[in-house]
């Protein structure tokens, strides 16, 4: 039973990173909800105290402390709201980065297990001489091949997995479209500060206004993170069964 559930090293590394990001995201959102709830509680208390006609010195001190705490939480909430879009965007980028690195890591794992899948690659004689054994040569060629493939974009990577390896990296066209758009949003955030441009609109076919800044919402972040993680499980199961049997 344990052997059937065993994951590839690539997936295990990805799962650790993805779970860390998920914990950060959930914790952050919980903290903000707690802060908002506490602020509402303080405001209700203050309203209650205002209804009291006669307030003694001790009560005034209590009111003052509540007001100070309320102002502090209000400031924290206000600052978070200012930076909320940037925080969610950074977390989104990290989730997509973790997934694309998983694909890269997994591809390298396959090539090292089955070097014949790399294809015909030229290597200079001097480079061969500098290597101590054939394993070092295979590792370098495999790493270069992976870097080359990963720079070709998700559609080409998908074709590589499908045609060369017989592995589907998605369970349907709609799922692939969601992953593709997530990757393109990540690229826009990283390379164009999230400003929607013509290239992004042409690729994604989304009905967004050019020149606006794309905003990542909590719900979209969580749904995308779940999609990427479940897709990674789906890919890993195929790879393990086809290439990485003991």
Per-residue b/e over 61-77, b at no fewer than 16 CB within 10 Å? eebeebeeebeebeeee
| Alpha-carbon gap, residue 33 to 47, rounded angstroms | 21
Residue 225: predicted pLDDT? 96
Q: Hey, is 195 helix, strand or coil?
A: strand
Alpha-carbon separation of residue 191 from 24, 90, 93, 99, 149 (angstroms):
24, 13, 11, 18, 20
| Phi, psi dihedrals of residue 213, rounded to the nearest 5° | -95, 130
* pLDDT > 90? residue 246: no
pLDDT of residue 123: 54
Q: Residues 94, 21: contact at Cβ < 8 Å?
A: yes
Query: How many whole angstroms separate alpha carbon 240 and alpha carbon 128?
Result: 31
pTM of structure: 0.81
Q: What pLDDT shows up at residue 66?
A: 77
Give the pLDDT confidence score for residue 238 in this predicted structure: 93
Question: For 213, which DSSP code?
Answer: B
Q: How do residues 156-215 score in pLDDT, each as one tens digit?
A: 999 999 998 999 999 989 999 999 999 999 999 999 999 999 999 999 999 999 999 999
Mean pLDDT, the chain, rounded, equals 85
């Amino acid at each position: 039973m344990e052997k059937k559930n065993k994951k590839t090293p690539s997936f295990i590394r990805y799962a650790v990173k993805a779970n860390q990001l998920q914990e950060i995201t959930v914790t952050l959102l919980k903290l903000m909800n707690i802060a908002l709830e506490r602020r509402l509680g303080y405001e209700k208390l203050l309203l209650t105290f205002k209804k009291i006609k006669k307030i003694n010195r001790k009560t005034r001190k209590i009111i003052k402390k509540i007001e100070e705490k309320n102002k502090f939480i209000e400031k924290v909430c206000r600052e978070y709201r200012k930076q909320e879009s940037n925080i969610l965007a950074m977390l989104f980028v990290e989730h997509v980065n973790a997934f694309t690195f998983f694909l890269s890591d997994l591809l390298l794992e396959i090539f090292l297990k089955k070097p014949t899948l790399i294809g015909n690659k030229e290597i200079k004689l001097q480079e061969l001489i500098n290597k101590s054994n054939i394993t070092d040569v295979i590792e370098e060629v495999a790493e270069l091949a992976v870097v080359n493939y990963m720079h070709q974009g998700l559609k080409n990577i998908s074709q590589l997995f499908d045609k060369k390896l017989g592995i589907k990296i998605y369970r349907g066209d709609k799922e692939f479209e969601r992953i593709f758009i997530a990757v393109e949003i990540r690229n826009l955030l990283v390379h164009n500060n999230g400003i929607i441009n013509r290239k992004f609109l042409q690729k994604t076919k989304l009905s967004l206004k050019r020149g606006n800044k794309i905003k990542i919402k909590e719900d979209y972040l969580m749904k995308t993170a779940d999609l990427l993680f479940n897709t990674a499980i789906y890919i890993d199961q195929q790879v393990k069964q086809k290439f990485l049997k003991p």
